[in-house]
């Protein structure tokens, strides 16, 4: 009887951990050089200057793909950061490379994400519950996907040697 009770208790504790509140991103708290996550093209150019390259990414699927949305999307690329969107919807952050040369800071409310942000500090911000959500690529980089509140898209945070190296936008296909 004790064994059955212990098994049942273990099951409910595990279930509780699985159902624990997951970390969700509040897109309204994200700022890059003062820009919101989704910004107008003119605002981005005012902060970053003329893009190094502008092209149609032609993504096969996702929330920012012509094939799925029936609209053209453009990527504005800079050294270490890229935005994707169009003049109608605005442009969202596509990716940010964090390193000493980029010297970029992504603000999330009162938190500052730079190339110096450690995985442990990240876990303190979003909670230890996401620790099991990390995926090891096998090349020294681990990733975790955090969804936006009330949305099906989110951001992938990548760490190498315990430090933040990249943030990328993700949407389902």
DSSP state of 95: E
Q: Is the pLDDT of residue 41 over 50?
A: yes
Position 145 confidence tier, pLDDT thresholds 50, 70, 90:
very high
pLDDT in tens, 53-102: 999 999 999 999 999 999 999 999 999 999 999 999 999 999 999 998 88
Q: What is the pLDDT of residues 118-136, one digit of tens each?
A: 999 999 999 988 999 999 9
Rounded to whole angstroms, how far apart are CA atoms 41 and 144?
29
Residue 40 burial (CB count, 10 A): 15
State the Cα–Cα distance between residues 23 and 1, nearest whole angstrom: 38
Note the pTM of the prediction, 2 decimals.
0.85
Residue 138 has what pLDDT?
87
What are the backbone angles phi and psi of residue 62, rounded to the nearest 5°?
115, 175
Residues with Cβ < 8 Å from 89, sequence gap 6 or more?
A: 38, 71
The pLDDT of residue 103 is 86
């Amino acid at each position: 009887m004790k064994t059955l009770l212990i098994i049942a208790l273990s099951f409910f504790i595990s279930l509780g951990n699985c159902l624990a509140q997951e970390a969700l991103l509040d897109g309204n708290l994200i700022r890059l050089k003062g820009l919101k996550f989704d910004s107008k093209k003119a605002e981005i150019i005012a902060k970053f200057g003329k893009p190094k390259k502008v092209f149609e990414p032609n993504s096969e699927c996702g929330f920012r793909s012509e094939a799925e949305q029936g609209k053209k999307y453009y990527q504005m690329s800079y050294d270490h950061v890229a935005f994707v969107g169009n003049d109608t919807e605005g442009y969202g952050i596509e990716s940010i490379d964090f390193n000493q040369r980029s010297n970029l800071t992504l603000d999330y409310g009162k938190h500052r994400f730079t190339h110096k942000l450690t995985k442990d500090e990240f876990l303190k911000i979003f909670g230890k519950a996401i620790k099991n959500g990390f995926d090891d690529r096998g090349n020294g980089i681990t990733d975790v996907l955090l969804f936006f509140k009330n949305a099906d898209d989110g951001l992938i945070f990548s760490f190498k040697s315990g430090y933040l190296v990249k943030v990328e936008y993700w949407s389902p296909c």
